Amino acid sequence: MQIVWPGVWRTTSRVSSVASMNVMPGDRVLALNARGERGERIAITGVVQGRDFPVVWICQPEEWDAAQAEKRQPEGVPWPAEDISPLEDAHC
C-alpha cells in the first residue's frame, strides 16, 4: 500500500493492469472517489504517468462541452488510473 493523500491509502496490486487500459481523450469514464461513489467524467488524456502512479486527466462533462465550443483545452484534474472505469461506446 502507498499513501496518496493524508488519510487515503491505495493498494498497488492493480497498477500493472492500468497501463493497458484503453482510455482515450474524449471518452466518458466513471471516476471512483474516496467515498466509494462513481461519477461520470470525460477523459482529457489516456493513462499517463503521474508523480507516483498512473493517472488519467479528467473533467466534468460541462467543462468538456464548454472547452469544445470555445476551441480550448478543457481544465481538469489528474485522477488515479486504477479508479477510472471506461464506459462502453462512450466517446464524446
Residue-wise pLDDT tens digits, 49-81: 999 999 999 999 999 999 999 999 999 999 999
Q: Give the closest residue to 14 by CA, choosing from 28, 32, 27.
A: 32
The predicted model gives 33-44 an average pLDDT of 94
CA pair distance 77, 88, nearest whole angstrom: 22
Q: Over the stretch 3-19, which tens digit does the pLDDT of each residue have?
A: 444 444 455 444 445 55
Torsion, Cα 80 56 84 50, to 10 degrees, reads -20
CATH of 2-91, one of 1.10.1060, 2.30.29, 2.30.30, 3.30.1050: 2.30.30
CA pair distance 48, 71, nearest whole angstrom: 23
Measured at the alpha carbon of residue 84, what is the angle toward residues 52 and 89, in degrees to the nearest 5?
A: 145
Place 43 in a pLDDT band, splitting at 50, 70 and 90: very high
pLDDT at residue 87, as a whole number: 85
